[in-house]
Amino acid sequence: MKITRQIGLFVAASMIAFACGKPGDTVETTDAQEVAAGEGQTLSLDLTTSTIGWTGYKPTGKHFGKIPSTGGTLTVAGDQITGGSFTFDIAGLTIEDMEAGSEFHGKLYGHLQSPDFFDAANFPTATFEITGVTPYAATDAVADKTEFASENTPSSDSSLTPANPTHWISGNLTMRGTTKNIKFPAAVTIANGTVAAKAGFNIDRTQWGLMYGDEAAATNKAKDQFIYNTVSLVLDVNAK
């Protein structure tokens, strides 16, 4: 199998097209919005316990790993998150389904860092800035996108959503020089000067110009020669 058929499955970033459901109760991407003012106490991201996992898919396989954060803060007032921002190290992206130092690991890592994907030489970091936090209502639900079926169909948004979500979090994700606002459900706990948040959702890499292996062409789908535009992200964030 050619390396070009194996590589390239991740990207960080973010729209999820949704099949149904009103805008108030589904993961979505819109244009950039005004960043939240962030009044209250500022907490620092705990880099030792905070992780951002990714999974990328193609019909013949998938890859997964993590993207480290180099720093960030959350601002809270009482039991409410009022703001926050995080920075992610694209060059520090890890691939966990391949042996580090192996030939294929090196080729995949190099391809993800290249202009085909993140163009890390010109855009070495990605940022996320909170624009809004609202309660997750008991009647809210997460609508799933219909994907091209294969042995490695991407995980659905509803399956990635944490148990008992408490909030919808919106924020501007900037990657490769493009900023989009993403919204997703999260399970948030605020107690004793600490914040813990868990979330899982899908993003559409093409919203940031990461077009390598774009699945749009019907001929590619017929030949299973494409990379899904959908990428799954799973966040476990702690601040204190």
The whole-chain average pLDDT of the chain stands at: 88
pLDDT bin (cut points 50, 70, 90) of residue 192 is confident
pLDDT at 25: 60
Question: What kind and span of H or E run contains 127?
Answer: strand 125-135
Handedness of CA 214, 219, 221, 224 (dihedral sign): negative
Calculate the CA 26 to chain-centre distance: 15
Residue 118's identity, in one-letter code, is F
Task: Name the pTM for this structure.
Answer: 0.86
Location of structure tokens 């490695």: 152
- Summarised one tens digit per residue, pLDDT across range 90-137 is 999 999 999 999 999 999 999 999 999 999 999 999 999 999 999 999
Paired sense of beta strands 94-95 and 80-89, if any: unpaired
- Summarised one tens digit per residue, pLDDT across range 55-88 is 999 999 999 999 999 999 999 998 899 999 999 9
pLDDT bin (cut points 50, 70, 90) of residue 172 is very high
Which of 238, 229, 207 is CA-nearest to residue 15? 207
Domains in the chain, ordered, with CATH? 3-239 (2.40.128.110)
pLDDT bin (cut points 50, 70, 90) of residue 23 is very low
pLDDT at 212: 93
Q: From CA 217, how far away is CA 206, in angstroms rounded? A: 14
Q: From CA 89, how far away is CA 113, in angstroms rounded? A: 11
pLDDT bin (cut points 50, 70, 90) of residue 24 is very low
pLDDT of residue 206 exceeding 90: yes
Q: Residue 58's beta-bridge partner residues?
A: 61
pLDDT at 9: 36
- Summarised one tens digit per residue, pLDDT across range 3-18 is 433 333 333 333 323 2
pLDDT of residue 222 exceeding 80: yes
Q: Locate 24 and state its tokens.
A: 């108030």
pLDDT of residue 22 exceeding 60: no
- Summarised one tens digit per residue, pLDDT across range 145-156 is 999 999 999 999
pLDDT bin (cut points 50, 70, 90) of residue 234 is very high
Q: Three-state SS for 33?
A: coil
